[in-house]
Structure formats: C-alpha cells, structure tokens
Amino acid sequence: MNPMRLAPLILVAASPAMAAPGDPVPARPRVFQDWIVACDNGGRCEAASLASEDSALQDAGLLVRRDEHGALSVRVADMTGKAPRATVRVDGRAVASTPLTRQVEGTWQGAPAKALVSALARGRKAAILTPTAHPLSLRGAAAALRYMDDRQKRAGTTTALVARGAARYRATPPSLPLVRVVTPPGKAAPAIPGAAINAARRQYGCATDDGSPVSADAYRLDARSTLVLLSCGAGAYNYIVQPLIWRDGRLTPAAFDYAFAFGEPKPAGQPQVLVNTDWSRDGRLSSWAKGRGLGDCGDAAQYGWDGTRFRLLSAARMTECRGAIDTLGVWRTRVVPAPAR
C-alpha cells in the first residue's frame, strides 16, 4: 500500500447546500489535470500545482495569482522547510530563482512572474530546484491559465496570459458585496446554565460519551446575544462544534447566510457544523475543515455577526488532496462596522 494514500477521517462534502437568493455563492475550483484554479466573486484568480497522483504530496509547489486589476505573482513553497533558495527550471532552462523566507516560501512579481508564467504555459517538463530537483507537472497548466484569462474577460486581449490577442482590455472588475459587522462589546460572556447546555446536547445530538473533548465556549456578540460553540465530536484532525446563540434565556441554532457542508446531511432545524473554529477579539469566527490531517485540502471560512446572523466574509477551498501549497480564495467581501445593538 502506498503510504501517501491517506484517506481523510471525515470527508468534506463536495458541494454545500443550495444558497438562497442574495446569499453568498463561493466559487468552486476547477481541476485541469495536475493544476487547480479558482476565481472569486471579486475577479481575483489563483491556480495551484498538484501532485500527479491522487492523495500524493509535492515536496515543492507553485501558486499563480492574478488579482482583479491584473497584478501577477507566483508563490513557491518548499514543503520540507530546508531550502534557502528555489529555482524553477522549464525544459532544461532556469527561468526564475528566489530566496525562501524562513526556508519555506518565496514570491516572484512583475516581469519575473510574467516570464515564469509564460514558460509554464509553453513548457513540456519542469522542476523546482532547492537545489534537489522536485518534479513540477505542467499537465493542465496552460488550460488553467487560459481559464483565468476567460474568467477575467482577458481572453483575446493584450493582457491575457495564454489566450493573447490584439484587443484592448476594457472589462471592469465586479464590486465586492458590502457586509456590516457588529464589533463585540468589551464585556465577558454571561455564564450559560449547565442545564441549558445539557438540554442542547440532547436536542442536537452532541453526546459527551464518545471520548472526544467536551466544551461549550461562550463569546458575547452584542448586548443581547452570546455565541456558544458546543463541542460535538472530534476525529484525529477535525474538532467539531455546533454554533448556538444564547438570548433571552434560551439556546437556539445560530443563523448563517452560508456554511460549507460537512459530514452527513443534517435534518432540518439542526445547527450548522463548524470545524476547528477560532474566535477573535474583533468578532471574527473562523472555521477550517481539513480534508485530511496533512492540511493540504479542505474548506476555510471566516464569518462576522451582523446582529441577526453570521455573514460569510471570506472563504477559501482546496478540493483536491494532492499536496497543493495553499487553499484558493473563492469569496471576499468589504466589511464595515454595523451600529451597536
């Protein structure tokens, strides 16, 4: 058995529930052989190299980003964390070289990034030298970059990466949705009665007899509402919670305008499931559901409280467990403070 073929303990669902009209619709990454690409709602596109074999890893990989204004960058990462420098070689020629910050990552921008991307699109064989040569598959690279050209409406223009033409680029990037988020008050959360916590565990099926960690962390959202993250099971690398709202002496499921599906489908009326959550002092609730313990795939999301529900502020995905160096951005917003409640 190949030791790199590690099946995830809990699978991240391939497609989330259908969003209601007006709710966020994060992009779904597209796979082109050994490259994966996603373009978010603001017109930013990212493409990442993948290992050629399913469930395998890359010792070193690339991520190409072109933002909505056309700024191009290429990030390289050495997954071993041992190399001071990385060089990309395409068809026997060294195309780009950069020092690696903390012996992990480096970035090319401007003309060097453009030259490297052009070589990747035209090349047949590539490697990342650290100085050990790590194979870099180019299968699908040109198609992924062409997809970026199409999604950014640059195909046929002088600004295209692959589908270049003589036309002038005239498109306008889409506007990001505006989300108003409440800044949490500087008060400690109220004590949630143990009876209410136990009743919620029974009602929502979060038993405490499976050996997983037990918690019910509480964070004040506004003058009336408190977020309670009710522990609801854990695996080797995913710690699951159900987000509830404590208000007027009752615990009820927290409302979300969007949440990635995780695990088995839940009956109507059940709380959302978040994974590996984090709460920040400025009122950001984050979730990172790993597709496997190596953390090279999964769904990441960040939310803010608008006074009635949690709004998706940003999201990133990596649907392929094939050693990508990072997730791909699939949703962004503009965040402004909401009136205190």
Q: What is the mean pLDDT of residues 254-281?
A: 92
Say what the pTM is: 0.91
pLDDT of residue 9: 38
Secondary structure (DSSP) of 38-78: EE-TTS-EEEEE--SSTT---SEEEEEEE-TT--EEEEEEE
Angle between helices 110-122 and 141-151 (to 10 degrees): 120
Q: How confident is the model at residue 8 (pLDDT cuts 50, 70, 90)?
A: very low
> Which burial class, exposed, middle or buried, applies to 57 when counting CB atoms under 10 A from its CB (0-12, 13-18, 19+)?
middle
Is it the case that residue 101 has pLDDT exceeding 60?
Answer: yes
More confident residue, 60 or 210: 60
Q: Residue 54 carries which side chain, given as an amino acid letter?
A: D
Q: How confident is the model at residue 210 (pLDDT cuts 50, 70, 90)?
A: confident
- The token pair that represents 164 in the structure block: 């270049």
Query: Tens digit of pLDDT for each residue in 38-80?
Result: 999 999 999 999 999 888 999 999 999 999 999 999 999 998 8
Q: What is the mean pLDDT of residues 125-147?
A: 97
Q: Decide if 340 contacts 331 (C-beta within 8 A).
A: no
In whole angstroms, what is the distance from residue 336 CA to residue 71 CA? 25
Is it the case that residue 7 has pLDDT exceeding 80?
Answer: no
Residue 291: HSE in the Cβ half-sphere, 13 Å Cα cutoff: 22
Query: Tens digit of pLDDT for each residue in 172-193?
Result: 999 999 999 999 998 999 999 9
Q: Decide if 57 contacts 296 (C-beta within 8 A).
A: yes
> Which burial class, exposed, middle or buried, applies to 31 when counting CB atoms under 10 A from its CB (0-12, 13-18, 19+)?
middle
Q: Decide if 317 contacts 29 (C-beta within 8 A).
A: yes
Q: What is the mean pLDDT of residues 15-35?
A: 79
At 308 the three-state DSSP class reads: coil
Measured between alpha carbons, how far apart are the two ends of the chain, in Å?
Answer: 57
Q: How confident is the model at residue 20 (pLDDT cuts 50, 70, 90)?
A: low
Is it the case that residue 199 has pLDDT exceeding 70?
Answer: yes
- DSSP letter at 112 equals H
pLDDT of residue 235: 87
Is it the case that residue 15 has pLDDT exceeding 50?
Answer: no
In whole angstroms, what is the distance from residue 90 CA to residue 227 CA? 52
Query: Tens digit of pLDDT for each residue in 237-246?
Result: 999 999 999 9
* Pairing mode of beta strands 334-337, 178-181: parallel
> Which burial class, exposed, middle or buried, applies to 7 when counting CB atoms under 10 A from its CB (0-12, 13-18, 19+)?
exposed
Average pLDDT, the chain: 92
